[in-house]
Amino acid sequence: MPAPKLPENPAIIEMNDVAVGSLENPEKAVLEDVTWSVAAGEYWVIGGMQGSGKSDLISLTGGLMAPIRGTYRLFDYEMPIFGEKLLAQRLRLGIVFDNGQLLHQLTVRENIALPLRYHRHFTWNEVDERVKAMLDLAGLAPYADSMPGRLEHHWKKRAGLARALMLQPEVLLIDEPLGGLDFRNAKWCLDFLDQLSAGHQFFQRRPITLVVTTSDFRPWRNPACRFAALKEQKFILLGQHKHLAGHTEPLVRELLAEEIQRAAV
């Protein structure tokens, strides 16, 4: 009897009835009843206004705190997975916060090298080669020996993204990747994330599963993206980009800036 055929893209993030706590107060729920499944290779855009819980959801998804209620499994392991035996599983996921969270006593080069120094048994020359390749990829080579405090905002964000990619994660979580960026740098970020989702040559054409947060849906036009919104402690599934324009949820119109446009007419 032939073995049952497994799904091509099994779920790697699975939440069932999850209550998400606040970073400031992990026991206070900012989101309730989150039921969400992310398959390998999917590209999710989570929208919400300031204070809606976007950063808290990213933190919980990244395993930085446990659910107040409900269950969350990553790669079929119940989260959070802090145990040393499961370190390899935890490192399959990367996370980037809005300001890059760089260590200010280290240069950009040293920040990007940290994951390899801690978690891979590479020689110093191998680390240097890999870091140089990442610096070139992210356009950071001119700033390699700069201290983070002297960088402009968009370079800090790129450096945080570059560091998160050094271990070649299968899943990448990014909180507000376009926050505070001008048009040129926002376009670079969007194009780069599209390439990561599709399979970038730098990562052997292996697609990376992406989850990003935003307060503005307008820049996110990739037809592969799946959308959700956070409103009044609820996680609302919206579908793909083609489903947004006619959606009845008022928050979707706000995130598409339709309400702002109407008010200006």
Predicted pLDDT of residue 89: 87
In sequence order, what are the beta bridge partners of 19? 69
Question: What percent of the chain lies above the pLDDT cut of 70?
Answer: 92
For residues 131 and 10, the model is more confident at 131
From residue 188, alpha-carbon distances to 2, 137, 138, 182, 183 in Å are 47, 11, 9, 10, 9
For the chain, which domains are there?
A: 11-92+173-264 (3.40.50.300), 104-168 (no CATH)
pLDDT of residue 6 exceeding 60: no
Confidence of residue 265 (pLDDT cuts 50, 70, 90): very low
For residues 247 and 94, the model is more confident at 94
Predicted pLDDT of residue 236: 97
Average pLDDT for residues 100-112, to the nearest whole number? 94
Predicted pLDDT of residue 259: 43
pLDDT of residue 112 exceeding 70: yes
What are all long-range contacts of 82-87, with beta carbons under 8 Å and residues at least 24 apart?
87/119
Predicted TM-score (pTM) above 0.85: yes
Average pLDDT, the chain: 91
Predicted pLDDT of residue 86: 82
Predicted pLDDT of residue 258: 57
Confidence of residue 59 (pLDDT cuts 50, 70, 90): very high
Confidence of residue 245 (pLDDT cuts 50, 70, 90): confident
Confidence of residue 264 (pLDDT cuts 50, 70, 90): very low
Confidence of residue 51 (pLDDT cuts 50, 70, 90): very high
pLDDT of residue 37 exceeding 60: yes
Predicted pLDDT of residue 23: 86
Rounded CA-CA distance 59/23 in Å is 8
pLDDT of residue 239 exceeding 50: yes
Question: What percent of the chain lies above the pLDDT cut of 90?
Answer: 77
Average pLDDT for residues 119-134, to the nearest whole number? 93
- Rg of the chain on CA atoms, in Å: 19
Predicted pLDDT of residue 1: 43
As separate numbers, helices (DSSP H) first and strands (DSSP E) second, the chain gives 8, 10
